[in-house]
Amino acid sequence: MRLGGRRVSSNIEDRRGTRFGRAGGIGLGTVVLALLAAYFGIDPGVVLQNSQQAQPVQEEQVPYQESAGEAQARQLVSVVLADTEDTWSQIFTAAGRTYEQPKLVLFSQAVQTQCGFAQSNSGPFYCPADRNVYIDLSFYDELHQRFGAPGDFAQAYVIAHEVGHHVQTLLGISEKTQAARARVSQADANALSVRQELQADCFAGLWAHNAEASRPFLEAGDIEEGLNAASAIGDDRLSKGRAPPESFTHGTSEQRVRWFKRGFDSGSMSECDTFNTRSL
């Protein structure tokens, strides 16, 4: 991606260096909540349940020394977030609505959110309750090394996907889905979650389409990086084929790639209606 000269967002909140513990001196290790490692968006239901449990308290704030790689990643995230603000503001305005910009919180190791306490191993996520996107930038190393998805566009896709969940929240889609999920079987609830995730993938593609249309920034191989990342985090790939399809919550690699591409190729919201599509 060519990001030089592009605007950076003022909605970045840096909470790196915050350390947590529990009253009585019990270490963080004992208060690990069983967050599912649902990459690219924790199931909000899971986090909300966990928030009922004992919460660690903030212990101290230590100065955070970021590496050169992290500084670069922070810059990328700031530019991509700004770009999503521009894209979605335009789309919302055209529809007679106002786009409320989300905050993006950088954290290290753990973070307290209105969706509960989360640790880095849960991956980047969006919390509908406080409307923040959360990311520990070390996830990008994992994306590269563990998931085999390197590249700056892969990193941008992560942010655009989480912002997609924010858009779903603003449009009331998340709330409706959450309510519907509570009324059905686990398998059907999972199927609804898949629709929500694939729509966020489509929205990520839609962002890339619009950003490119307003000011070209994509370089050869960028879209492939995004598609590779979408493929790397499909439920079938993550479970190495061991989990049954009805347990999927994010969609298969093939589905994630296809919906991202659909958003990217069309640049249109109506092409991202995963909830009214018979076959995903």
Report residue 101 CA to chain centroid gap.
15
| Residues of this chain, 180-209, that bind Zn ion according to CB under 5 A | 197, 200
Token code pair at residue 165: 């969940």
Size of the site for Zn ion (CB under 5 A): 4
**Judged by CB, which is closer to Zn ion: 88, or 217?**
88
**Contacts of range 33-36, beta carbons closer than 8 Å, 24 or more positions apart:** 33/116, 33/117, 33/118, 33/119, 35/118, 35/119, 35/121, 35/122, 36/122
Does residue number 40 form part of the binding site for Zn ion (CB under 5 A)? yes
**Judged by CB, which is closer to Zn ion: 31, or 135?**
135
**Judged by CB, which is closer to Zn ion: 20, or 203?**
203
Smallest distance, Å, CB 162 to Zn ion?
A: 7
Instruction: State the DSSP string of 2-30.
Output: --TT----S-EEE-TTEEEEBTTTB-GGG
Smallest distance, Å, CB 133 to Zn ion?
A: 11
Smallest distance, Å, CB 161 to Zn ion?
A: 6
Residue least distant from Zn ion (Cβ): 41
Burial annotation 68-101 (CB, 10 A radius, 16+ → b, else e): eebeebbebbbbbbbbbbbbbeebbeeeeeebeb
Q: Which of 1, 9, 41, 262 contacts Zn ion by CB under 5 A?
A: 41
Kindly tell me the sign of the dihedral angle through the C-alpha atoms of 87, 268, 223, 169. positive
Query: Looking at this protein, which amino acid is placed at residue 117?
Result: F
Smallest distance, Å, CB 200 to Zn ion?
A: 5
Of the ranges 3-11, 33-41, 212-220, 269-277, which one interacts with Zn ion (CB under 5 A)? 33-41
Smallest distance, Å, CB 41 to Zn ion?
A: 2
Give the interface with Zn ion as residue ranges (CB under 5 A). Answer: 40-41, 197, 200
